[in-house]
Amino acid sequence: LFQATDFNLAPLTPVVDRGFADDVLHGLALPQKQLHAKYFYDQQGSDYFDQICQLPEYYPYQTELDLLPQVATDLAGTFTADCTIVEFGAGSLVKIKPLLSAISSIRQFIPIDISGIHLEMASQQLQSDFPDLAVLPVVGDFCFPVELPVIGNQQKVGFFPGSTIGNFCPAQAASFLKNARFTLGPDSCLLIGVDTKKSPLYLHNAYNDAQGITAKFNRNILSRINRELGANFTPEKFEHYAFYNAGQGRVEMHLVSTSEQVVDVLGSSVAFAAGESIHTENSYKYTPDEFCQLAASAGWQVERTWLAKQDLFATYLLRN
């Protein structure tokens, strides 16, 4: 199904999933050190992300959530009876609820997420809220082929909210969209939420919150490497640094070493100069025109666009 879609500045990775340990060692050996953003989401990281979503500065979450009831109302009748929704990077399963409430033809729901316990707990809660729905959670990394437990040949509707697609560079986003078109099959749709370009200061504040939760989220990736790979990072010796790169149209997050230091990771010594960074995330922003072009380049037809208040966020309905 999916090809490898390693994000970021590195040359495209092979189609094999190297796994956490090899990815970390590889990323920390690059001239510009980097870690894949998907590794933020262990249990602790998923909890921090949920906290980010409650921050006043982090507008994408609430803005999209406020838009979805209207989207769902407009969509009622669009999908065929007995359709299946496949959500990529489903997280806490909050955003599917407005769709389930307004669209009665949804029979099966397949949330895919990399954070297993988080997904399991959220799925159980959703199942008890919607007893007639078949909830079939899949713990997996949608950068790679994911086997879907789909029975029959109902219409598949992909759901990819939250601007998660912004973690991919545009070329990788296009290949994700192509693969999703193939995976979801004939007559499928993809409902996708994408953050818009806007004032750099507004973007800056969203990734530099006053309470420092985003900084904790960013540093947690080092604590996770310590926990799971027996490394000896001192997270406090790395500073959260996030900024809007207007030329690239993306927010970048980095962890900047505050001193010269050497860290042991699985028996390898990783040296940091003072001021050297690890690039931990890209979050690309698209104007509606840019995103429509990207979708078209992946073979999708843009059937409908919804813009949130002040054009802060966009939701698109794509048709295969």
Min CB(128)–ligand AVJ separation in Å: 26
Distance CA 118, CA 121 (A): 5
- Considering the complex, state which of residue 98 and residue 162 has its C-beta at the smaller distance from ligand AVJ: 162
Specify the amino acid at residue 102: A
Tell whether residue 161 is a contact of ligand AVJ (CB under 6 A).
no
In degrees and rounded to multiples of 5, residue 49 shows phi and psi of -60, -40
- Considering the complex, state which of residue 137 and residue 166 has its C-beta at the smaller distance from ligand AVJ: 166
Tell whether residue 162 is a contact of ligand AVJ (CB under 6 A).
yes
Q: How many residues does the chain have?
A: 320
28 SS3 class: helix
Min CB(20)–ligand AVJ separation in Å: 18
Stretch that binds ligand AVJ, among 125-133, 137-145, 159-167, 289-297 (CB under 6 A): 159-167
> Which 35-74 positions form the footprint of ligand AVJ (CB under 6 A)?
52, 60
Judged by CB under 6 A, the residue of 164, 179, 220, 315 near ligand AVJ is 164
Tell whether residue 207 is a contact of ligand AVJ (CB under 6 A).
yes
Specify the amino acid at residue 310: Q
- Considering the complex, state which of residue 257 and residue 280 has its C-beta at the smaller distance from ligand AVJ: 280
Min CB(308)–ligand AVJ separation in Å: 15
121 SS3 class: helix
Specify the amino acid at residue 239: E
Encoded one letter per residue, x for contact with ligand AVJ by CB under 6 A and - for no contact, window 92-131 reads: ----------------------------------------
> Which 213-242 positions form the footprint of ligand AVJ (CB under 6 A)?
214
Residue with the closest Cβ to ligand AVJ? 283
> Residue for token digits 């200061």?
201
Tell whether residue 141 is a contact of ligand AVJ (CB under 6 A).
no
Q: List residues bridging with 134 in a β-sheet.
A: 108
- Backbone φ/ψ region at 54: left (φ over 0), alpha (ψ -120 to 50), beta: alpha
Distance CA 62, CA 76 (A): 22
Closest residue by Cα to residue 93 from 121, 133, 62: 121
Min CB(83)–ligand AVJ separation in Å: 25
Give the strands of the sheet with 33-34, arranged side by side: 33-34, 277-284, 250-257, 238-245
| Cβ count within 10 A of residue 245 | 12
Stretch that binds ligand AVJ, among 20-28, 112-120, 160-168, 229-237 (CB under 6 A): 160-168
| Interface residues toward ligand AVJ, by CB under 6 A | 52, 60, 162-164, 166-167, 207, 214, 281, 283
